[in-house]
Amino acid sequence: MTSRFLVLFDADNIAGFVFDTGRLKEIRGGSALVRDATSPLRIAELVDLVDDADKRIVYAGGGAGLVRFSTKAAAEAFAHNLRNTYRRSTVDGSISVAVTETADDDFVAAVDAAHVALRRLKSAQPQVDRQPLAGTHSAICVSCGRRPVQTIYTTPADPLCGVCWTRRNADDNTHQHMQIGHTGANIRRTTLVDMQNTGDDLARAFLAAALEPSWAAAWLPDTMDELGNISRPRNYVGFLHADGNRMGEHLRSFLHSLKGKPWIEAEDAYGAFSTAIAQATQQAVVQALHHVMAPPAKVKGAFVPFDPILSAGDDLVLLLAAHHALDVAARFCTVFESEMSAAATQLGYTGKMTTAVGVVLAHAKHPILQLQRQAKDLLRSAKARVADLRRRGKDVSAVDFEVVTTAVVRPLTEHRRHAYQLEDHNQGLCHLTRRPYTADDLSRLLDLGRQLKHGRPTDPTADPDSERRSYPRSQLHGLYSAIFQGYDQAKLQGARAVLRVNSAQRSLLLTFAGAFDAKDDFPWSSGDTSLDDEITTPITDLVEIFDFLH
């Protein structure tokens, strides 16, 4: 029987590579380097360099892929070229490439063996602890703060190491032409069109779905301050990190469902399923952004209210205007589930596929590396919520979020334990938050929160000016403070919050409370949460995001 050779590859620690520096241009450039080095077009070019009559790309993109060859020499030549190309393109990045041989006509067993080989390669990699390197006659890169300076970018005040220079140069190379800034000087600015022209599939899909031409002309922000200037409240930004739940398990389950099928048929299906995951992520974020965000102003120098930092398979990182972040997260989850359900049905897979999202809302001066770490912690928390609900028979997506107001931040679990847990002598442990939320509950929190903030008529025929309908912020803040003072104090203040307002405002508040099982013991609820029957409240979450509801 004829042997086949599979080459399975996966870029190592993509997020760690991209966020090796705290500057937005270098981060965006690092993401572009990974995307370009593993794009379907780049992989096709490397495959074409190899002489093999029966070679095929099963799937590629987002830092990973699978390629089949008929000879060992061809497979190893491709693997060698891929490692060198990736290293040369990224300077400091690495990629794991496993070459496996099979003499059986069993695609499932062959892919299983390839994944085992790839895991062994990754686990055998040395853990590199990069320390700052400098001497009497050297200086440290102003971007990463670790490697020695090798070149000056534009001015003596901008000395960069070779890695950061390559990243920034990659971002600069996306510009089609010099653009005129507000001061009249020529400056380099990146647009979504530039990203599309350099092979960014997310930018291409977003522009294809855009109805307004202003999306194509607007600039991507180069700094957090530029993004903060168009946020509400001003000078805040949102950092969103999404990742599919149990995607490895779903891939293995689908792979094993192909057992017994002819090699080519199984290969086609597996490639289609792998591609569908990336496409579902892409379509979900595109639809979410268009659904939530209004087009930029049709003026020179208008900014796009988001920056697609990383999109690799089911992994997504976005930097966006603060008042859009939670709405985008909720919508993303809903659309992802819908897109994956349609793709899975078409391919004959019955498992439900969900996602998890972590969102940080923080001041634009907050270090982006801290935002990335906090978002990752929130993502883990959301995944834990998903796993807990799945054990209860509910397979849903979840979102966790945090509004950061201090420069020094504790680890999430420690922070939640110290700031959001209260031991009541009668009721026991009270959780002063309802986070993480399912995607549906988050949408409900946002919608009902807006109704409280802006008001709505309880009677469609009523005079809109007859009484004030937006709920008093002072009452919410009084209730927020009382929650941290104890169970009984919060219930007492909750009664005041219900009684000391007009009928329209009372109706809004009770509707909100009822949506979260908090009507009977307002503001406390003990509904179906990941905390079993322990007491929680959505009021603290509402108050903390109130300024971001528009």
Give tens-digit pLDDT for 183-195.
445 566 889 999 9
Listed residue (343, 344, 316) closest to 331, CA to CA: 316
In tens, the pLDDT along 235-289 reads 999 999 999 999 999 999 999 999 999 999 999 999 999 999 999 999 999 999 9
* Structure-token pair, residue 518: 């908090």
The region of weakest confidence among 40-49, 348-357, 425-434 is 425-434
DSSP-assigned beta bridge partners for residue 357:
242, 399
Higher pLDDT, 296 or 455: 296
26 pLDDT higher than 60? yes
What's 1-173's CATH class? alpha beta
The region of weakest confidence among 172-176, 390-394, 431-435 is 172-176
Indicate the pLDDT class of residue 73, thresholds 50, 70 and 90.
very high
Cα–Cα distance, 59 to 451 (Å, whole number): 46
Indicate the pLDDT class of residue 178, thresholds 50, 70 and 90.
very low
Residue-level pLDDT at 486: 95
* Structure-token pair, residue 414: 């420690």
Residue 88: DSSP 8-state: H
CATH architecture of 188-408: 2-Layer Sandwich (3.30)
The region of weakest confidence among 182-196, 420-434, 459-473 is 459-473
Q: Work out the mean pLDDT of the chain and round it to a whole number.
A: 91
For 348-472, where are the alpha helices, taking DSSP H only?
A: 368-391, 412-419, 439-454
Q: Where are the domains of the chain?
A: 1-173, 188-408, 420-548
Residue-level pLDDT at 458: 46
Sign of CA dihedral 30, 33, 39, 43: negative
Residue-level pLDDT at 186: 54
Answer whether 1-173 and 188-408 agree in fold.
yes
Residue-level pLDDT at 526: 75
380 pLDDT higher than 80? yes
Q: Using a cut of 0.85, tell me whether the model's pTM lies above it.
A: yes
Residue-level pLDDT at 528: 54
**Cα 490 → chain centroid:** 35
Answer whether 397's CB lies under 8 Å from 439's CB. Answer: yes
In tens, the pLDDT along 288-325 reads 999 999 999 987 789 999 999 999 999 999 999 999 99
* Structure-token pair, residue 141: 């890169």
Residue-level pLDDT at 172: 81
